[in-house]
Amino acid sequence: MKNPVLRFVILFVVIYGSWYLLYELWLAENTPVDRILMTWVGQSSAKLLNWLGFEASYQALAHTVYLKSMACVSVGAPCNGLALFALFASFIVATPVSIKPKLLFIPLGIIVIFLLNVIRIAALTLNFKYYPETVDINHHYVFAFFVYGVTFWIWIIWVNKFMIPSLKKKQV
């Protein structure tokens, strides 16, 4: 296909669409990968809060982060980051760039997204404890906008550092 933008869009839709259909229709939520990610995000959030001086813990059975003995945030499958990892990786894979930078950039991007999610869950835990009236808007909009915004920024870095130079080389 001669048009690189159209090629990218079609490839992205096929890759992400395939993953989405596989996950939603066949695997569904609460797979072993979901449970592992929920545990990692919850445990890491509690550890971050402890590091910041709060008395936090994580209860694995309910996937819940506690402050002292107060249950604050449950980490569900939709909030474990897996869908965003797939979206991020699909974007990178679909770009017309050689495989080597993709093999480095995808894991690094997923690590950044994971860390952002840990910060988001820790912040929501504090939010629930100290300002419970704002949890809903922060959970659904503010923190989601932040995580997706940073993910978009990472894509911009990818496009500028790898995709545009790769397209320029192909034109020469």
pLDDT above 90 (res 2): no
Residue pLDDT, tens place only, 108-134: 999 999 999 999 999 999 999 999 999
Q: Alpha helices, DSSP H only, in 82-142?
A: 82-94, 99-130, 135-137
Give the pLDDT confidence score for residue 28 in this predicted structure: 67
Residue 107, pLDDT > 70, answer: yes
More confident residue, 147 or 167: 147
| Per-residue pLDDT tens over the stretch 14-69 | 999 998 888 777 766 668 888 999 999 999 999 999 999 999 999 998 999 999 99
Percentage, residues of the chain above pLDDT 70: 95
pTM given for the model: 0.89
Burial class for 150, CB neighbours closer than 10 Å (0-12, 13-18, 19+): middle
Q: What's the token pair of residue 120?
A: 């988001």
Domain parsing of the chain, residue ranges: 4-171
